[in-house]
């Protein structure tokens, strides 16, 4: 099995005729993702990605014509919040927003609207998700994956790629890899994704990749202690040497008022039963030590 994306995914790419949208749409198609439609206002009736994908003016038209149930958004920051709301209004159940640079205040009402509609938003400023051998949605490189039983959830796209490549090189496969995004306001938290992994019988172990700033890792640790006590769990927290008050990479990666430090996150994760790696390359060895074999 898998979570969020898989064989039942029917994907629409919003912004498919832009440079980034078409580039990654082609990669998703080549991976085998069921990409059924694209949306760019004013370009309905055209075809994208070498003529393989029909383009519609609206998400509603794309859903009606193709049965799309998942969206991946490559719309510039100024229009991305409206693109998310358009997908929700059209009945899309799972939305990945790759766009970065969306103001946090713009995302607060959008996240509330998504939740009220019963949909699921991953992102913004996220790399997407991949269920190896089934589908990939977003910008995660497909070649780094190997099908298996380890669920990966991360705030950092680049660290996800490094950790997954290290796992694959060690012969350890993944059930689904999910990047939730590093902005202060995102649609899905660590806990949201851990719930999905906990309900997936094919996910036998967890890798969580966090970073400084906020309290998401501590919240995930508390939830995992109560609900994932029987599964091997490995974590890595980036930013151990970050100075207070300076943003490090993501908008949400900032220590302020003595909160959100790597030390506090590591302590919480270890107390919840996670083995905490000192670098992403150490993750496979810790998984092996916890009994993970493939």
Catalytic positions are 250
DSSP the chain: --SSSSTT--EEEETTTSHHHHHHHHHHHHHT--EEEEE-TT-TT-EETTTTEEEESSHHHHHHHH---EEEE---TTTHHHHHHHHHHTT-SEEEE------HHHHHHHHHHHHHHT-EEE-SS--EEEETTTEEEESS-GGG--EEEEEEEES-HHHHHHHHHHHHHTT--EEEEEE--SSSS-SS-HHHHHHHHHT-TT--EEEEEEESSSSHHHHHHHHHHHH-TTS-EEEEEE-TTPPTT---SSTT---BTTBS-HHHHHHHHHHTTPEEESSGGGHHHHHHHTT---
């Amino acid at each position: 099995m898998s979570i969020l994306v898989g064989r039942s995914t029917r994907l629409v790419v919003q912004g498919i005729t832009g440079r980034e949208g078409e580039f990654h749409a082609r990669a998703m198609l080549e991976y085998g993702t069921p990409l059924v439609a694209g949306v760019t206002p004013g370009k309905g009736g055209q075809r994208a990605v070498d003529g393989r994908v029909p383009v519609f003016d609206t998400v509603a038209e794309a859903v009606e014509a193709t049965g799309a149930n998942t969206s991946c958004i490559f719309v510039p920051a100024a229009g991305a919040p409206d693109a998310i709301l358009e997908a929700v209004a059209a009945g899309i159940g799972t939305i990945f927003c790759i766009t970065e640079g969306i103001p946090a205040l713009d995302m607060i009402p959008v996240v509330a609207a998504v939740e009220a509609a019963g949909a699921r938003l991953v992102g913004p400023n996220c790399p997407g998700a991949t269920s190896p051998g089934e589908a990939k949605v977003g910008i995660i490189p497909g070649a780094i994956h190997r099908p298996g039983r380890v669920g990966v959830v991360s705030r950092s796209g680049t660290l996800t790629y490094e950790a997954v490549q290290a796992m694959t090189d060690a012969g350890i496969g993944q059930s689904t890899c999910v990047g939730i995004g590093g902005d202060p306001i995102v649609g899905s938290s660590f806990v949201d994704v851990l719930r999905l992994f906990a309900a997936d019988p094919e996910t036998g172990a967890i890798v969580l990749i966090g970073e400084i700033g906020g309290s998401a890792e501590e919240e995930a640790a508390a939830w995992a202690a109560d609900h994932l006590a029987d599964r091997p769990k490995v974590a890595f927290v980036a930013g151990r040497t970050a100075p207070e008050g300076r943003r490090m990479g993501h908008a949400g990666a900032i220590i302020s008022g003595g909160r959100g430090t790597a030390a506090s996150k590591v302590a919480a994760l270890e107390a919840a039963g996670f083995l905490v790696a000192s670098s992403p390359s150490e993750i496979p060895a810790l998984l092996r030590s916890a009994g993970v074999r493939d």
